[in-house]
Amino acid sequence: MPDERECVVLSSTDTFDTIQGLPYRLGISHKSVGSIALSMHVVTIPPGGRAKAHRHAEHESALYVVSGQAEMWYGEGLAHIMVVSAGDLIFVPPGCPHVSVNRSRTEPVTGVVARSDPNEEERVILMPELDGIVT
């Protein structure tokens, strides 16, 4: 039987602060549109900003960098680092610790983040023991 639910467009530019310390534009989620398998938001890292060290319990994340440049520290002990720029696509596997940092003093970093979890933040696990690694 076909799904009788309605298609939904979200035009709001309202934002909320995430558990991991970054502002997200209200996006696609179970709470906003009734999604059952994914979420998608616009994230902005302000100049000089950074996320808190965290991982996502059991779901994958994919990010598209729209503008700016950021560092992403990742892996056990945040032992790896990549520099990402506008146009890059990033995959973060389930359970992978990571931190994103904007080193610019003037330009924000904006990206689109999608996850294979319809909830915005219920399974974000903060890892404060790693926050001091990224300076």
pLDDT of residue 4: 67
pLDDT of residue 16: 87
**Interval 94-135: pLDDT, tens:** 999 999 999 999 999 999 999 999 986 678 899 999 999 998
pLDDT of residue 3: 58
pLDDT of residue 18: 87
- Beta-sheet strands, E only, within the chain: 15-17, 23-28, 39-45, 54-56, 61-67, 69-74, 80-85, 89-92, 98-101, 109-115, 124-126
**Interval 65-98: pLDDT, tens:** 999 999 999 999 999 999 999 999 999 999 999 9
Total of domains in the chain = 1
32, part of any domain: yes
CB atoms within 10 A of CB 26: 17
18, part of any domain: no
CATH of the domain at 64: 2.60.120.10
4, part of any domain: no
7, part of any domain: no
pTM of the model: 0.89
Domain with 114, as residue range(s), is 23-133
51, part of any domain: yes
107, part of any domain: yes
41, part of any domain: yes
